[in-house]
Every structure is written in C-alpha cells, then in structure tokens.
Structure 1
Amino acid sequence: MCHFSLLTHISCIFFPLHSFLLLVLSSKFKGKPTMPSYLCKYSMVGPLLDPKSNKPGTTTLTFTMFLFFSAAFCLLHLTYTFGIVERMPVLQEDPSRYESDFQGLLVHRQCADVIFCSPSLEHLLEAHRIVLCSVSDVFMVLFGGKSAHHVRDSCVSKTASDLFAIYRELSVTAQYSPVRVIVKDSLLCSCLSDILHFIYSGAHQWYLLKQQLRKRIEDPEDVARIIHTVRCILKTSGKGTDCSPSHCPEPWQFCRALGIFFNTPLLADVIFQVQDITIPAHRAVLVARCDVMAAMFSGSYVEAKSFLIPIYGISKDTFLCFLEYLYTDCCCPASILQAMSLLVCSEMYQVYRLQRLCEHYIISQLQSMPSRELATTSLSLVSLIRKAKFHNSEHLATWLLHFMAVNYLIFSQKSDFQDLSASKFLLRCNFQHLQQPSLLLCIALAPPVLYRVWGYNAKAETNV
C-alpha cells in the first residue's frame, strides 16, 4: 500500500503545479490575456492548425495532451483516495452442474424412454437408456447396445437375464417408444428409486446409498445383498469377476463414460443437420444439459416430434464443440476465434457456464501471447470487444478493454484501431456498464486516439 499513498501525495503536489503551468501557457498567447476564450479556436472540435504556419500548433497540442493527462491524474487521485485500486478484471468460473443436471433429468422425467415395472406390470419409475448404458454393460446388453457374443464377461449377460426382462408390447411399433423393463427381484423393486438416484448422481456415493437403503430395509443382510447386486450391475465387462466399487465410474469418469456416446448413432434418437454433415445425438442428454433444448423438445414445437432437425447460423465445428461440452462437461476450442464462435453459440442456447469457459480460454490465450506475436497476429481485438458486448459478455469486454490499454503501443498500430474515431472509441467504452477503475484506462487511451484523429483532420484541411 506504500506505493498507493506515494501516488496520492504526488497527485496532491501535481494539482498546484497544474494551475501554475496553465498560467504559464496562457501568457504565451500574446494579446490574449484570457486563455479560455482564445483556446475556443483550438478546442477539441476545432482544427489543430497554427494560424501563422497553417501547421499543427505545437503549443496547442502540448496543452491538449497536458489537459488530458491532468484529468487522468485527477481521476487517479480520486481513485486511490477512495480506496479503489486499478487492476485487471477477474472473471469467476462457474462451478460444474453436471451431476445436478442429470439428477434433475431423473426427477422431471422428460424424454424418458425406459419404464421400470414390477413383476405384476405395476409402473415403478421412468429412466433413460443413454444414462443407464453409460454406466453399465448390463443395461447395454439388455437394451441391445451390445450383443451377448460381444461381451467377454459372461457374468454381465447372466446378471441382465437374472434381474431384468424386456416386456414386448405388440401394439407399440415406434422405434424410439419407451421400453418396459420388468424388475424380477421384489426387494430390488422396493429400493429402485434410491438406486436410480445413485446412478444419476454419478454412481460413486456408496455411503449415501447404503444410508438410504438402511432407512428403507431393516435387515442388514438384505442391505448387503442389494449393495452387492448394484455393484454387479455397474461392473463393466472384462475387468475381473469380483463386483467391487473400484469398477464403478468415479465422478469424472461418469463424464467420460457418457462422452463415449457423443457423435455416435448408438441409441441416438435425434439427428442434427449442420451445413453438409449430420450429427446424431440423444434427447435425454440435450434436455438435461440445456434449458433451450429442453423447451425445444417439449410442448408443441416442431422439433419435439421431428427426428431430423436443421441448425442454421452455426458452423459444424462450433456445434460439434457445443455438443461435446453437453456430453463431457469439457470445453476444448482450437483457437480464439473458435472460442468466440462457441461463446456466441452458448449465449444463443443459454449455457452460461460454457460461456464463462470460453471467456477464460480467450483470456488465457491472450495472456500467453508474447508481445511479438500480439504485434504480428491478424486477430482483431476491437472485433472481439464488439462481439463480447453484443452477446452480453460484459466481463470479457471489460477485460479486453483493459488488455488493450495495457498493450496500447502494440494495438495502436493495428488498422482497425487506427480507423476508430475518438467518439466511436469512447462510445465502445460504454462507461455506464463499466466499473469506475475502467474509466481511468479509457481516459488514458483517449489522448493518443484524439491526437491521431485531429492530426488526420489537420492534414485533410491542409490538402484542401
């Protein structure tokens, strides 16, 4: 804090010196004792030409630059006086909602394609094939995702046939109609809701599952038998014969297990037409992870009953990255431009955590660039600011403005920056939406921009 107080003291000494220099400058204009009336000719909206030489006046330019830096210093004094420290904006990363999204999918039962029934065909619970198959080969065999011949572990097929059975309804002919699954074990029927909540939570909270089963089942031996059954259901093939929790997906592996079904036709119930390619997907995943998709696949919308859905205004690479995030909860754009396109897509579909991840990616990439690469890159920072503001990424736009101010000598040589007028630049700063410290950077940037614009105006008037 010592350097803050030092700057404050310098500002306090600077104010009297500022007034003194103004008087000195005013005395240089002979025959014009009052500076404000004379400087009306050399104001910001007037030409910067000396009346004698018809060239930009050095004294006037010096005074104008001095005036702006004085204003910046005054604001700096007020900023540090009231304890507001100028620093780069910090973007907060949103926590993951991956597990809670799928828990909500189970609760709301939207796009459910599995109906669990008791041996007497009594309706028990609804679920989703894509979620069940992602955590268990038993369900993959049960729903036809894998044949018994392709499963190396015979215990998987045996477990599927011993515990469940598919009830074939002759009246149902639709390919993606809900499948009725009969649960043969009556004890398993009584605690099926707890088991499904355990699976939709990532299939790793064994202690919580055991607690819920103890509340529902009094006999400890029955609790142990159900736990053993669940472990056998979640055991993947080819990993031994023991049904231990080590074979069940951990939270991060649950994302990876569901990611196996990304961009694959297996169990897919919707296809997106994007440019010249088709992308298979699963409604349950889309509904769980994206509120816009949930609204699109429900109600009276055309997409709710369509199998092929066209997508407009988004490139195929961007939409693939968007879907990959919905499946895996990971964002891996290939470049800053693709990250910005993905940000636009996430704002369109209201997936705000993906929008924050894209913002962090853009910032990290810009921070890692050396000065030489920033000077030679064709990336337009002005265009990024414009897109960020248009798509409601105010924090990113603020950070980019700070970044431009810190690296002004580099970005001032860019063609898009040089073409900006003073009024347009200050308008893009959008003071009412920026924090107070950002105003200081905008004022610090204003003099060079104004100097350049006025210089161009002077040249134009000289040529005329």
Structure 2
Amino acid sequence: MTALCFISKKVKCHATKIHKHIKNEENKVRTSVIQVTGPHISKRPNTGLWSHSDKPLQSTILKPVKSSKTITVSKSYNNFKKDAVHGLQNNITRSDKLSNMFTKMFLPVQHQTKSSKKSFTHDQIGAIVGCSSFLLMIGLFLGITLWHIKQKNNIESQYRTLKVSDIAMQNIKLLVLGDGAVGKSCLLISYTTNAFPSDYVPTVFDNYSTNIMIDEKPVCVGFWDTAGQEDYDRLRPLSYPQTDIVLLCFSISGTDSLENITSRWIPEIDHYIPDCPRVLVGCKSDLRTSNPDECVPRTEIEKIAKEAGLEYYETSALIQDGLKHCFDSAIRCGLAGSRKKTKSKSPFGIFKKKKPDDPIPPVMPPAGKAPWVEIETSTFAEDWQKMLEDPKFSDVTFLFEDGQQKLQAHKLVLCSASKYFCQILGLPNSKTNQLNNIDNKQISLEELNSGRIEGIAAVYLSEENHKAKITTVEISANITAKTFARVLEFIYTGVPRIPEIHEDLSEVQELCRVAKIFKLSMLETICRNIENEEDFLNPSIGTYLNDETGKEMKTLFFNKPSCCDVIFKVEDQSIYASKVVLCARCPVMAAMFSGKFVESDNEILTEVKIPNTSVECFLALLEYMYTDHAPIEETDSVGIVVLADEYGQSRLVGLCELYITKEVDKSVTKRIEKAEIDVIGLLLTAQAYNANQLAGWCLHFISSNYIAFEKRQDFSKLKGENKDHVEEHRWPPLSYLKEVEVYESEMKKRGEK
C-alpha cells in the first residue's frame, strides 16, 4: 500500500505539471489570438492595477472593453487544437516512461519494508504500474478533450460579450434570377459600384465578390448573375448549389416578367434548392414617375408576394433608390439561413462515419465581355469652322472700314444661331409658333439704313452673275474686323477662338461690348468667364449652343423648298437641301458640288437622283447633317448604316451600331434559338458596309450563345473566317460541356434529378 500511495503521489505530481503546462499554453494562445488596433486595458506587471493605453497590445493578457475597432485573428483555434493533440501524444509517451520510473522507484522501498509487512513480486508490481499508466492515459485524454471544448466555449462566449463574435469574415452566396433585360445586371453593378452602367452589356453568366459591412460586421458576398433565356435552362442550375439567398427580379414596367416569377422561377428554385430563402425584387422603380401608366400597381405586386410568402423590395438602379435596403435585408436573410444550416459539432463526432459529399459542379469559365461600341466625338463645330475659313456658297458679306476689309458668311448659319441676325437679314420666321413670331419681328431696310440700329451702318441686296442674291451688311466704324471675326467664330462653332494667355484683357472686354450690341448673351457669359479665370466652363456652353443651332437649323431650313439650292430625287419624291450644309458636313457631297462633277454646275438649283435607298433613310442622313442627330429609332437602322457608309458618315455608323446592339439584346430576352432577328445576316451586312464594331459584336454574340445558334437554320451561313472564329471562341467550350456530362452522370447515380 505504501508503494501505491507513493505512486499515486507521483502520478498526481506529474498530472499537476501537465495541467500547468497546458494552462501556460492556453495563456500563450489567448495572448497571440487577439491583436487590438485601438484603445485597451492591460494589467501592469507585478501589480493588481489595470491601465488604459492607446498603443496596440503586444503580449499581455487582455481585459476586453467595448470598441468599434477592427479585431483580427492571428492564430486560429485549429492551430491550437493541433498543439493540444501534439502535447497529448507527448504525454502518452511520457506515461510509458513513467511505468519504468515507477518500477525503479518501487524496488528500494520493498527492500526497506519490515519483514512483518506483505511484499509484492516484480510481476505484481509491473501489472499495477501498467494498469495505472493505462488509466492515467485515458484520464488525460478525456480531461484534455473536455477541457479544450470548455475553454473554447468560454472564450467564444467572452467574445460574444465583446460584440465581436464573428472574428472570421462570413461568406454567403447571393444569386439573382429573372427574365432577360429586367435589370438584374444593372441592379448588381449599381449596388456594388454606386454608379449606373452607362453601357449595357448582356450577361450570359457572371460572378464576383465584394466585402460589405452588415450590422457593423464584415461579410464577403458572392454575387452570381445568371442568364434568363430558355437556351440556358440546362446550365443555369449549375449555379444553384450552396446558394444562401435568391433575388427573384422582375421589371415593374410590364406584367410578363412578374407572371414568370410564379410560373417559372419559383418552381425552378423549389426543385433545385427548396430550402433556400428568397425575396422578390422589383426593378426600374423610377418608371413610376416617368411612365406611371405602364407600371404594374404596387398593391398588385404585394398581393402576389404575400401569396408566395416572399418579402418584396422595389428598387431603381438608375437613381440608386432602395438598393441598400434591399440588399442589406437580403444578406441578413441569407446569413440567418446559413446559420441554421450549420450544425454544432459533437466532441465525439470523430467517431461518426462521415457522409460522402455531393459532387461539385464544374467551374463555369467566363464568357468574356462583349466588345465596346465606341462613338466618335462630334465634328459639328469643326466642320462649320472650316466652312467659315473657306466660305463656299456664301450669301452674306460684312464690310468694315469703308469697304477696305470684308468677311463672308452664310445666312443659314447666322439665322440659325442668332435671332438678332434673323431679324436683320429678313429671313421669314417659322410658322410653328406665332408667339415667337411677334417677338422676332423683322427690321425693315429703311430702318437698317437710317443709322438707328446700333452696330449696323447699312444693309442692301445685290446679285452675283445674275444667279444668287448677296446680302451686304456694312458694320459700324466702332467695330473692327478682328473683333467681328471672333463674333462669327462664336456663331459658327459656339466658342470664339481667343488665345489662352490673356495678359491684356482689352480684347476680351471689346468682344464683350460687341456681343452686347448684337444681343449675344452667351458670348457675354463666355467673356466674363475668361475675365474671372473660369474659362473651363466655356466648352460646355459651346456644346449646348451647337445643339441649339442644329435644332433651329432643322426648323428653319431642313427640307424647305424656299430655302434650298439642291433637290434630291429619291423614290420619285423630292427632298430639298442646302449646298452649304452638304459641303460643310459631308466630304462626298463637297466633292460632288465643288469638283468636276455634273452636280457642281453653278446653277441656282441643282437636281440629283439618289438610287438604292428609301426616302426615310435619306431623310435621316440629311437630318444628321443638319443637326448632328438622326431618328435612328424611327427608321431602318441597318439601311442608315448602308447609306452612312456610302457618304462617309462614320460617326452616324457608330450611332447606328450602338442602337442595333441594344435592339438585338431586347429581341432575345426570352429565347435566342427562335428569335425573329437575324443576327448572322446582320453580321454579313455589317462586314459588307464597314460597320466593323457591329461585326465584332455580332461575332462575340454568336460565339457566346453557341448552343442556341447551332440549332438555328441560318447557322449554315457562317463560312470561312466567321465559322473559324465562332468555333474557336464558342462558349461554353466543349471541355466544359464534357465536365457537365460527367457531373450529371454522377448525380444520376446518387438518385438526383
């Protein structure tokens, strides 16, 4: 018994040492786990006092305080668990050594006992020591395991008290579903970037992640965007696994996408991810203000949402309305569902048989972004500047200094840019608004020649070679030709060309005085901006004035028989135009009327036949020349592309290309395979008429939707380089489709549908 007591004391002593060692390891881990980058309270060495410090804590035991600062994990519990298991293995090794130590320590005691006491044999002693070692090993194993669980729960409870329970960032997967072109991609882009995308790029499949603060906690949200077309019904479910929250999106501008929520999308997610939470999201809420009659009433939407058991949120990606509330609520819902899925681990879970995981869907390769359709910068101002420098077909002459100097100009431009010159030159007012005609009463020649009109000395008409009437205007002697040239630059281009370095502002002040005489208020504003060193505002003023000049030019001169010198014959109809506009805005027309062509004959009225086009397309081309805008939406946009290429209007081609790409997107919102629009025919037309951006876009669109286009009858039209390009860049690639087949076969083996 003495030996057993001695062994018990030794075992207890050794166990105490092990406990102290583990306690020290705990303190080290607790010290290295947390690094606070803010105010904290620490215990001073060798004292019982606690002190406050603003410096980051390095290696001391913390007494936590409430803080909104960031807490980062520098050593995880998994690492501590590995250390504990490693220590346990060392303790088991020590138990074997302890058995030998007990035997050596016991023998001397046996020889020193009295003869009256019972002695033990070596075999009995070995058996006792072996049993003690075995029991000690089991006790240490259970003790350390239970202690580890208890300490982990205590520390986690302590962290919850500190309101920083989620030390590691939580991850959730957010999936958006809905019909095509309802605004899913714009919704995600506008929320994550705080800006509405200026150029729309249709989504096939896309996913990206971003970090968001929800209730003062960081959350890594993976956004998964999907294609709503029926052509992708097979691939879309591969995006569903491990989804935490689904946003069912529709457009409030129509009932079709809303009806598909209940008839198509809810049954689909009920089949693939029945336990996943979902919310209903109405897109384009800004249309309730701009087009209220076309929007579905909110009460009707809320009724449908209530019947389906869904929370409803209405958003506008364009004006950033309701985005934060919608996504924050959806993410909270996803986090709550994610926590419910997470099961607490049992301390004896290692003895349970692990269930085999479901096969992971193959990673979908990115489809790539469609090429941008770039629009050239307007050349409206530059074109008219060139016409002012070389005034062909001019019909107004300004005289200075008793006729010693003169400047030539065009009545069409002067009257379009200035109501004052419209009164002076005697142009008939527009009949569209009689109220404006009262304000813009013409000034008679008698009054102009009386000297009572400031800035004008005399005005008279003359004929040049008996072909065209020329209006001559004598400018007052107090206005120089140099200053008036700046006035003409402003009228033609919107901004006068004044040197950037204004050491002497006398020229600017003189220009401002003359602008006031001719009632050019915007020119006065430009001069004041220069004087106040705010001339950076002037280019925007010029852009606005050019746009207004183009509108007025269309009103006064576009397709007007009384103000033309060219008649175009298109489909047996007459279209009227001015050579000044045609030569200024179109190099082909300039060569036609200024070179050695029949049309360049200096007759007052020239007639030109235009074959192989429609009246609507040719009028759209002329309107672009007059205004820098064209009614592409109301006309055959492809026909305008053909005509614009023929007459060298590359910017107009770009405008049509951009419009056509958007129209293609709208036409395939439901299904590409059976869409009426002929994208392959559009590709061939674009390549034939130098619409290179449209051709590149069509190739990308066909390649990215290969599985839909290969089922169309017109797919056989692709030949040569077009066929090779589509086969090379097809999406999804064949390698991915093979991986999908393997995945589907494995799921079928497991009884999954």
Q: Which TM-score band applies after superposition, normalised by the shorter structure?
A: 0.5 to 0.7
Match of 1:91?
373
Shift of the alpha carbon at 1:343? 0.7
Q: Report the AA paired with residue 730 of structure 2.
A: L
Q: Using the alignment, how far apart are the partners of 1:338 and 1:404 within structure 2?
A: 22
Match of 1:252?
547
The question of 1:271 aligning with 2:585 is answered no
Match of 1:194?
486
The question of 1:416 aligning with 2:714 is answered yes
CA, structure 1 residues 349+229, in 2 after alignment: closer, same or farther (shift >3 Å)? same
Task: Write the mapping of 1:8-157 to structure 2, written as runs, cut at 5 A.
Answer: 86-118=368-400, 120-146=402-428, 151-153=437-439, 157=443
Shift of the alpha carbon at 1:414? 3.3
Structure 2, unpaired ranges of 5+: 1-205, 209-364, 524-537, 738-753
TM-score by length of 1: 0.63
Aligned partner (choices 512, 515, 537) of residue 227 of structure 1: 515
Report the 3-state secondary structure (helix = DSSP H, G, I; strand = E; otherwise coil) of the residue aligned with 2:670: helix
Report the 3-state secondary structure (helix = DSSP H, G, I; strand = E; otherwise coil) of the residue aligned with 1:297: helix
Bigger relative contact order, structure 1 or 2, given CA contacts below 8 A and separation 6+? 1
Report which of the two has the higher share of helix: 1
Q: Report the AA paired with residue 88 of structure 1.
A: A
Listed one character per residue, the Cα deviations across residues 230-273 of structure 1 (whole Å, up to 9, x for unaligned) are: 326999xxxxxxxxx9x997343222222222222342221211
Shift of the alpha carbon at 1:178? 3.7
Shift of the alpha carbon at 1:182? 2.2
Report the 3-state secondary structure (helix = DSSP H, G, I; strand = E; otherwise coil) of the residue aligned with 1:292: helix
Q: Report the AA paired with residue 309 of structure 1.
A: V
Aligned partner (choices 669, 689, 700) of residue 371 of structure 1: 669
Q: Using the alignment, how far apart are the partners of 1:219 and 1:88 within structure 2?
A: 49
Shift of the alpha carbon at 1:443? 10
The question of 1:300 aligning with 2:596 is answered yes
| Alignment check: 8 A CA contact 2:420 2:518 kept | no
Q: Using the alignment, how far apart are the partners of 1:393 and 1:314 within structure 2?
A: 18
Q: Using the alignment, how far apart are the partners of 1:317 and 1:197 within structure 2?
A: 33
Q: Using the alignment, how far apart are the partners of 2:480 and 2:380 within structure 1?
A: 27
Q: Report the AA paired with residue 473 of structure 2.
A: V
Q: Report the AA paired with residue 655 of structure 2.
A: L
Report which of the two has the higher share of strand: 2
Q: Report the AA paired with residue 427 of structure 1.
A: G
Shift of the alpha carbon at 1:292? 0.9
Q: Using the alignment, how far apart are the partners of 2:707 and 2:367 within structure 1?
A: 23
Match of 2:471?
179
Match of 2:698?
400
CA, structure 1 residues 215+183, in 2 after alignment: closer, same or farther (shift >3 Å)? farther
Aligned partner (choices 729, 746, 749) of residue 440 of structure 1: 729
Shift of the alpha carbon at 1:135? 1.4
Shift of the alpha carbon at 1:372? 3.1
Report the 3-state secondary structure (helix = DSSP H, G, I; strand = E; otherwise coil) of the residue aligned with 2:564: coil
| Alignment check: 8 A CA contact 2:394 2:408 kept | yes
Aligned length: 343
Q: Report the AA paired with residue 582 of structure 2.
A: L
Q: Report the AA paired with residue 439 of structure 1.
A: E
Report the 3-state secondary structure (helix = DSSP H, G, I; strand = E; otherwise coil) of the residue aligned with 2:690: coil
Aligned partner (choices 160, 165, 175) of residue 458 of structure 2: 165
Identity %: 27
Q: Using the alignment, how far apart are the partners of 2:577 and 2:615 within structure 1?
A: 14
Match of 1:287?
583
The question of 1:321 aligning with 2:620 is answered yes
Report the 3-state secondary structure (helix = DSSP H, G, I; strand = E; otherwise coil) of the residue aligned with 2:458: strand
Q: Report the AA paired with residue 483 of structure 2.
A: C
Task: Write the mapping of 1:344-363 to structure 2, written as runs, cut at 5 A.
Answer: 344-363=642-661
| Alignment check: 8 A CA contact 2:463 2:470 kept | no
Q: Report the AA paired with residue 441 of structure 1.
A: R
Q: Using the alignment, how far apart are the partners of 1:134 and 1:297 within structure 2?
A: 23
Q: Report the AA paired with residue 193 of structure 1.
A: A
303-312 or 405-414, which deviates more: 405-414
Report the 3-state secondary structure (helix = DSSP H, G, I; strand = E; otherwise coil) of the residue aligned with 2:407: strand
Shift of the alpha carbon at 1:116? 1.6
Q: Using the alignment, how far apart are the partners of 2:695 and 2:417 within structure 1?
A: 41
Report the 3-state secondary structure (helix = DSSP H, G, I; strand = E; otherwise coil) of the residue aligned with 1:187: coil
Shift of the alpha carbon at 1:444? 5.3
Shift of the alpha carbon at 1:291? 1.1
| Alignment check: 8 A CA contact 1:191 1:216 kept | no
299-308 or 152-161, which deviates more: 152-161
CA, structure 1 residues 137+274, in 2 after alignment: closer, same or farther (shift >3 Å)? same
Give the CA RMSD over aligned residues: 4.1
Report the 3-state secondary structure (helix = DSSP H, G, I; strand = E; otherwise coil) of the residue aligned with 1:168: strand
Shift of the alpha carbon at 1:85? 8.5
Q: Using the alignment, how far apart are the partners of 1:255 and 1:119 within structure 2?
A: 33
Match of 1:309?
608
| Alignment check: 8 A CA contact 1:133 1:139 kept | yes
Q: Using the alignment, how far apart are the partners of 2:480 and 2:685 within structure 1?
A: 54
Q: Report the AA paired with residue 256 of structure 1.
A: K
Structure 1, unpaired ranges of 5+: 4-79, 236-244, 449-464
| Alignment check: 8 A CA contact 1:139 1:160 kept | no
Larger radius of gyration: 2
Q: Report the AA paired with residue 325 of structure 1.
A: Y
CA, structure 1 residues 129+219, in 2 after alignment: closer, same or farther (shift >3 Å)? closer
